Every structure is written in structure tokens, then in C-alpha cells.
């Protein structure tokens, strides 16, 4: 076995009570047609977002900063490195360095006094996301947009060094060539700096700097209900409190309707452990794998959480360690589950049957290990005991060390 082909599949069955944890542009629960019927859907992005926050807040995993306000941080770092640097020049330089990552330009940087004053004001108020604010126009008359970029702490510090050099040139009145003095050094700084753990887990792509692309080790499917699911309407009101001396019951001050849905979801997450082994040692990968498994199992998208409190946990979390390729069990539910006594138990049985049939088919290699954390159902494979992060780490550790 080679470590380049080592995958952990996570299969989760989770019942979500009436809620709207992830909504579309109309405010309704997201949906999809699968197997000819409508299903409840929770987007992969929604679950990746809360899992990423869980990793940072609960598991203390180092995270990069995803932001459109990196110029503000780069100015601060440049000033920490050299307190004498001109703040206005640093503000212009920081904005240009960040823009070079997403939409690099050529030619000479022309800085006017008005540009310096505007850039300094933006940094001082911490409201700017770029020296060309969203909705403004760039030098070619096109609308300028600030872009969300993921940068680790090390990458920010490396880019701040580029900002400092550009700011010094601006202050000295020297010529600043965008390609030579901004684009190339910024790209080199980004490529040469260490990435944070979540960048290796969830990936990164910056359109203007493809050299800084980071492949995602974690792939997440959209969660789908194992059965047909349709949203319902919740008509609700807001009733104001009476003022002192007001003896009149005035009724509702606000009326509206919100959609919600309840369902049993099939969720699938897979980790490319071979990819992580290119960045970390076996023990670090084992610990990180356990933390990722726990983060996805115990996090919940927060849409309308205050009104529904849909804080369920998965009925089962089955971890399958494979040495050839990952295998999703989504097709186990292509034919919707039908039951008059709830969907959870039938969905768990369907999942167990599908995984057994896949392994018996000969189409894929037998898994290296299979284990399950379960609330009230028979485990698929061995039972994961203890805290999920530790038990999953123990499951993958022997294969990582091989």
C-alpha cells in the first residue's frame, strides 16, 4: 500500500427536526430532485463553514483568515516591522499588493496625494476592503471589486514585507513597476510562506495567483434527505408590549410566513489522507483527521437557529478507511426511503446494506477498517468508543504509520 491512496469516508445519517438551517435566495429550505422526487438539501458550503469554525473554536486548529480586509492587517504588520514607515504610503501599497493576487496589473503605479489621503482614511477607520472601494472604478474605468482571499498568518507576514518595500519606494518618490515591484514579490511571498491547516483541508484558489493554489483534502457532498421531503409554512406574528396605561389589546404588530422542513439526511465527507501526509507527519494527520470527523459530526448550520433550535446529532457516523478510492453511499438512497414509522432506522439499515454490497461486489478493494459511532443503532463494522476525535484518530493511525 502507498500513502498516496489513502482515504477516509465518513457516512452520516442525521435527523433534523423542523427547521431551516440552510435557505435559498427566497428564504425557503434548499431542495433538490434526486431519484425522481424532491429532497431536502443542505449545501456543502453551509456545513464546511460551521465545521471550520468548530475546528478553530473547539479543537483549537490553526486557521487562516478569510477576508476582504487584508490591506488593513498588512499595514499594521508593516508598521510593526518599521514604525517609521509612512502610513498613507503603506495603505496604498497594501491595497495594491492584495489586488495583485486577484487581478494583477502591469505598468507603473501612479500615486497622487488624493490617493494617499483616501487610503490613510480607509485604514484609520478600518472600513476599507481595498483602496478601490466596492462600486468605485479602477484605472481602466471598470468597476473594482474586493475579493475574499484566504491568507495564513505566515502569508500575511510575508506580504507585509512586500508592502513595506513598496511603501518605502512610494515615500521616496521612486518609480514603482507593478510587475517587478508588486506582482512578482507578492506571488513569491505567498508561495513561499506556510499555509494554515484549514487551507490544506478545504483548499484555496486565487484567480490571479494560480501558483498559490492549495488542493482540498476534504471533499463534502450536499446533504440530501433519504426520502421525499417538502417544506411547510409557518405563519408567525410579533405582538408589541402595551404601553403604560394602555388597556387596549391591539393584536399583532407584524405578520409573516416562513418555510421550514424536517428530514433524515444522508451526509458524506471524505478526507484524502495521502494528501495530508504530504504536509504533515503521520501522528499529526491522525489527530487532524479525528478533529475533522468530530467537527463535521457535531456542527450544525445556524440558519434560523433561534427560532427552531435544530440541534440534533447524527444517528450514526460510519468511518470507512480505504486504500484505493473513496466511495459515497448516495446511490443507496436514489430510491427514496418509504416508511410509516420514521425514516432514521430504515435509512441506517439501507446504508449498512449498501456498504456491505459494495465491499462484496469486487469493484473496490476491501476497506482497511470500518467503525461506527451510533446512538441507538447496531454499528456498521466495529464500534467507535469514547470521544469521536480520539476514536477516529485511533482508527486511521495504524495505516498512516505503515
DSSP labels for 147-214? --EEE-HHHHHHHHHHHHHHHHHHHHT---BIIIIIIHHHHHHHHHSPPPHHHHHH-B--TT-GGG-B
pLDDT at 2: 43
pLDDT at 193: 94
Q: What is the pLDDT of residues 131-167, one digit of tens each?
A: 433 333 344 433 345 678 999 999 999 999 999 999 9
Residues 6+ apart with CB under 8 A from 45: none
Residue 282 has pLDDT above 60, yes or no: yes
pLDDT at 256: 85
Q: How many other CB atoms sit within 10 Å of the CB of residue 242?
A: 11
Side-chain-facing half-sphere of 99: CA atoms under 13 Å: 22
Instruction: Give the H/E segment covering residue 13.
Output: strand 7-19
- Assigned C-alpha cell, 136: 468605485
Residue 1 has pLDDT above 90, yes or no: no
Q: What is the pLDDT of residues 179-198, one digit of tens each?
A: 999 999 999 999 999 999 99
CA gap 107, 71 in Å, rounded:
21
Among 114-118, 156-160, 231-235, 357-361, whose mean pLDDT is lowest? 114-118
pLDDT, mean of residues 300-315: 92
Domains in the chain: boundaries:
7-59+217-238+257-401, 66-194
Instruction: Compute φ and ψ for 89, nearest 5 degrees.
Output: -65, -40
pLDDT at 141: 37
Output the pTM of the full model. Answer: 0.87
Amino acid at each position: 500500500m502507498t500513502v498516496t491512496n489513502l482515504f477516509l469516508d465518513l457516512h452520516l445519517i442525521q435527523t433534523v427536526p423542523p427547521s431551516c438551517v440552510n435557505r435559498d435566495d427566497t428564504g425557503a429550505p434548499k431542495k433538490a430532485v434526486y431519484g425522481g422526487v424532491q429532497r431536502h438539501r443542505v449545501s456543502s458550503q453551509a456545513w464546511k463553514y460551521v465545521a471550520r469554525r468548530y475546528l478553530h473554536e473547539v479543537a483549537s486548529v490553526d486557521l487562516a483568515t478569510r477576508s476582504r480586509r487584508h490591506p488593513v492587517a498588512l499595514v499594521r504588520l508593516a508598521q510593526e516591522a518599521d514604525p517609521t514607515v509612512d502610513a498613507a504610503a503603506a495603505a496604498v501599497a497594501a491595497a495594491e499588493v492584495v489586488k495583485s493576487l486577484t487581478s494583477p496589473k502591469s505598468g507603473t503605479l501612479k500615486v497622487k496625494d488624493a490617493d494617499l489621503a483616501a487610503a490613510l482614511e480607509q485604514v484609520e477607520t478600518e472600513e476599507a476592503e481595498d483602496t478601490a472601494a466596492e462600486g468605485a472604478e479602477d484605472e481602466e474605468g471598470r468597476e473594482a471589486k474586493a475579493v475574499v482571499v484566504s491568507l495564513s498568518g505566515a502569508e500575511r507576514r510575508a506580504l507585509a514585507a512586500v508592502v513595506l518595500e513598496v511603501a518605502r519606494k512610494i515615500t521616496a518618490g521612486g518609480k514603482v513597476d507593478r510587475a517587478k515591484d508588486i506582482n512578482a514579490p507578492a506571488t513569491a511571498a505567498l508561495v513561499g510562506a506556510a499555509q494554515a491547516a484549514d487551507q490544506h483541508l478545504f483548499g484555496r484558489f486565487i484567480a490571479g495567483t494560480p501558483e498559490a493554489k492549495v488542493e482540498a483534502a476534504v471533499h463534502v457532498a450536499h446533504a440530501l434527505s433519504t426520502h421525499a421531503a417538502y417544506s411547510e409554512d409557518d405563519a408567525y406574528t410579533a405582538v408589541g408590549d402595551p404601553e403604560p396605561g394602555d388597556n387596549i389589546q391591539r393584536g399583532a404588530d407584524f405578520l409573516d410566513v416562513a418555510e421550514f422542513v424536517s428530514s433524515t439526511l444522508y451526509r458524506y465527507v471524505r478526507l484524502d489522507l495521502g494528501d495530508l501526509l504530504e504536509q504533515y507527519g503521520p501522528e499529526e494527520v491522525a489527530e487532524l483527521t479525528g478533529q475533522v470527523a468530530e467537527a463535521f459530526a457535531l456542527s450544525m448550520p445556524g440558519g434560523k437557529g433561534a427560532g427552531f433550535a435544530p440541534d440534533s446529532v447524527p444517528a450514526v457516523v460510519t468511518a470507512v478507511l480505504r486504500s484505493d478510492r473513496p466511495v459515497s453511499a448516495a446511490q443507496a438512497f436514489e430510491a427514496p426511503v418509504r416508511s410509516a414509522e420514521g425514516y432514521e432506522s430504515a435509512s441506517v439499515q439501507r446504508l449498512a446494506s449498501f456498504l456491505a454490497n459494495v465491499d462484496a461486489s469486487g469493484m473496490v478493494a476491501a476497506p482497511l477498517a470500518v467503525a461506527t459511532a451510533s446512538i441507538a443503532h447496531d454499528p456498521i463494522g466495529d464500534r467507535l468508543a469514547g470521544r469521536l476525535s480520539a476514536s477516529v484518530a485511533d482508527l486511521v493511525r495504524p495505516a498512516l504509520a505503515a
